[in-house]
Amino acid sequence: MKIKIAECAGFCFGVKRAINIAENALKGLKAKDNIYSLGPIIHNPQVVEGLFKKGLQVISDLEKIKDGTVIISSHGAPLEALKDIKEKGIKLIDATCPFVKYAQNIVKGLKKDGYRIIIVGDSAHPEIKALKSIAGKDKKSKKIGVISQTTQNKENYINEIKNILGEDFSEVKVFNTICNDTSKRQLATRSLLKDCDLMIVIGGKNSANTRRLWQICKESGVDSFHIETELEMKTKWFKGKDCIGITSGASTPDSMVKKIIERIRRF
């Protein structure tokens, strides 16, 4: 039985950066200090749990926070939350991924120029919530600006663009805001599907980019499983399989990928 690992496995740049920012903030933490992240700093429960043990508390809103430090997650935060932090005089540390910031700046420009902004992505995702807060209320302009969630499936984005082009408009501006890491992971995963008869997709169940990798695998017809840790795997998955493909989301640490490979070898 062969094991093939996707070229783009382990943390992406934005996730590494966010974790380093959090780790550095926690190093200077005193016993009486409180440090929070507004939502999980990345979408990986095991990594978030590790940071919690070091003192990083995850909060869903700012209602009960009166002092301390708040870290903005890699996904960004709505303008209302940033305003609330400023008004309360709470220390702010921004760990927003630079690629997410790039998308936010595009939205700011489109809004300033009077475009109706269409954002393709998961409406419940924190990145989209932040982008929507910047875009503001939907304009009725015939000038349309289109951007994507940074972890969107490229094929899905193209299909949505085709649908948008069927609308009544005077001008359309389309921006490719899917980050390079996302595109590379999806291409690397598709490459594995050509040779493998079983795919293991590693990453948080709450991770949008990991779920899209799993979706790509499932749609191919190859037996595929989305797991967070090595303990979720079952021996029966591997019976009769010749080649196992392993791919991971952008917020999956190398250490977890190694644990899963070791367990597969024991199987």
What helix, strand, coil percent values describe the chain, rounded to 5?
45, 20, 35
Name the strand (E) or helix (H) holding 108. Answer: helix 98-112
Q: How far is residue 155's CA from residue 152's CA, in Å, rounded to a whole number?
A: 9
Structure tokens at 73: 């997650």
- DSSP letter at 151 equals T
Q: How far is residue 192's CA from residue 196's CA, in Å, rounded to a whole number?
A: 6
Q: Cβ(97)–Cβ(16) under 8 Å?
A: no
Name the strand (E) or helix (H) holding 18. Answer: helix 13-27
Q: How far is residue 77's CA from residue 71's CA, in Å, rounded to a whole number?
A: 10
Q: How far is CA 1 from CA 59, 223, 261, in A?
A: 44, 15, 12
Is 7 assigned a catalytic role?
Answer: no
Q: Which of 7, 23, 127, 262 is catalytic?
A: 127
Please tell me the number of Cα atoms within 13 Å of 263 on its side-chain side: 17
The type of residue at 163 is: N
DSSP secondary structure of 76-106: ---HHHHHHHHHHT-EEEE---HHHHHHHHH
Catalytic residue list: 127
